[in-house]
Amino acid sequence: MMKVLIVDDSAVMRKVIIRELLKIGVEQANIQEAPDGLVGLEVASQESFDLILMDWNMPGMLGIDVVRQLRTAGIKTPIMMVTTEGEKTNVVTAIQAGANNYLVKPFTPDDFAAKVAQSTATKV
């Protein structure tokens, strides 16, 4: 069963993402939340996940910096950015940093499900 970590400083957005994950069959018990980049880095470094969903703009540590640190530490969990930063330069930056996929908010439930499926099918 897929285990997912959501790193987002918005509690509302975490709830929205959890709802979408439940719709595609992820069990609530297999979803963990981190309210900022620092906590996300700590949790992702200590536990194994099948997918990390990462916001970009967060207090303390930007999501892109968390991605860089996780990859530097050798953690190969697929990471999908879920962010309002939709400019092409940001997408390129995220992929270069080690993100596997990129979903721009606003997104439809179908977009979300398709990107999650793509992300979990890729390996770093």
Partner 1 sequence: MMMMMMNATGQGTNMIDAKLVNTVMQAVMEVCGTMAGTQVTLKEVIPTLDYKPIGDISSVIGISGEQGEGMLTLSFTEPMAGLLVGRLLGMAPEEITSEDMCDGIGELVNMVSGRAKTSLSEDSGSLYRLSLPSIIKGPGHEIGGRPKNCPFLFLVFEAEGHSFILQVTFRHF
Which residues of the chain form contacts with partner 1 (CB under 8 A)?
Answer: 10-13, 15-16, 19, 57, 83-88, 104-108
Question: Based on the number of CB atoms within 10 Å of its own CB, is 7 exposed (0-12), middle (13-18) or buried (19 or more)?
Answer: buried
In the complex with partner 1, the residue whose CB is nearer, 104 or 114, is 104
Residue 94 Cβ vs partner 1, minimum distance, rounded to whole Å: 14
Give 29-43 as a 3 state SS string.
Answer: HHEEEECCHHHHHHH
| Closest to partner 1 by CB, 19 or 76 | 19
- CB of residue 83 vs partner 1: minimum separation in angstroms? 7
- Which are the contacts of 42, defined by CB distance < 8 A and separation ≥ 6? 34
**CB of 116: closest distance to partner 1 in angstroms?**
17
